[in-house]
Amino acid sequence: MKNTAIEWAENTINFYIGCTKVSEGCTNCYMYRLEKRFGKDPTVVRKTNWKTIEKNLKNWPASKIFVNSMSDTFHESIDFGEIRSMFEMMERYPQHQYLILTKRIERAKEYEKDNPFLDNFWLGVSVESGKHLERIDVLLDIRARIHYVSFEPLLGNIPLAPFNTFMLDWAIVGGESGYNPRLPKQEWVDFLIRQLHHYDVPVFYKQFGGSAKCKCHNAWGCRLYNGEILDEMPRGQQ
């Protein structure tokens, strides 16, 4: 069973919907487009029906779940008590793997001081360009079994630092999609994947990006990288 079009997850849950933009990677966020289409203010972070979430967590078979795909788990408008409540619900259903992705990694670090992440929580950070490499340093300073980086949308050439790249467990690489996307250069993609593989980091190549989907995999731009699918996952999580 799969309830999401996101290639690297099988399901999504949204405890909250809404977010505010923190860097250039947020400029064309799909959540903003969707919320405006439904007459909602995307900058207002609103709570969803948690009873439905718990019902799904109870009934779904073990799966990889992307948490808060329409928000940011560590958004500053969500207090630590509410964040703790989210995690307590997920912890009641340990059969799942929960994928947390944030741009607010400093706040995740502050939260983790008194709330350690269990082994089935993957902690990730978004890095869209070389301007935000410090997010990786903060990520790796947090205790988590799986650390990953989403280089999506890839908006520039990213020279990775050897001393922290080899500590990563996983990386997602992808270009921007939808209306008027800011496409990456092929050399940026090649350079990034070459570095990641040099340091033995599994790479999930999501898409090149674009405003149209390919016929071969129904992905924005295309999912093929050098004629192949790169859907590598953290070791032991295939």
pLDDT band at 213 (very low <50, low <70, confident <90, very high): confident
State how beta strands 16-17 and 146-151 pair: unpaired
The reply to whether 6 falls in a domain is no
With DSSP H G I counted as helix, E B as strand and the rest as coil, what are the percentages for the chain, rounded to 5?
30, 20, 50
The reply to whether 183 falls in a domain is yes
N- to C-terminal Cα separation, the chain: 16
The reply to whether 46 falls in a domain is yes
Burial 119-139 (b: 16+ CB within 10 A, else e): ebbbbbbbbbbeebbebbeeb
Q: Which amino acid is at 219?
A: A
Q: What confidence score (pLDDT) does residue 219 get? A: 87
In total, how many domains does the chain have?
1
Whose tokens are 């929960």? That residue is: 98
The reply to whether 2 falls in a domain is no
pTM of the prediction? 0.96
The reply to whether 120 falls in a domain is yes
The reply to whether 118 falls in a domain is yes
Distances in Å between the Cα of 2 and the Cα atoms of 31, 54, 124, 235 are 20, 17, 21, 22
Q: Is the pLDDT of residue 82 over 60?
A: yes
Q: What confidence score (pLDDT) does residue 1 get? A: 55
Cα dihedral 186, 188, 189, 194 in deg (nearest 10): 120
CA angle, 238 then 135 then 132, to 5°? 110
The reply to whether 142 falls in a domain is yes
**Structural domain harbouring 21:** 11-229
pLDDT in tens, 149-187: 999 999 999 999 988 899 999 999 999 998 889 999 999
The reply to whether 48 falls in a domain is yes
- Please state, in angstroms and rounded to a whole number, the distance separating the CA atoms of residues 232 and 201: 9
Q: Concatenated DSSP letters for 124-180?
A: EEE--SGGGTHHHHHHHTS--SEEEEEE-S--S-----HHHHTT--EEEEE--BSSS
Verify cis geometry, omega within 30 degrees of 0, for the bond prior to 153. yes
pLDDT in tens, 50-69: 999 999 999 999 999 999 99
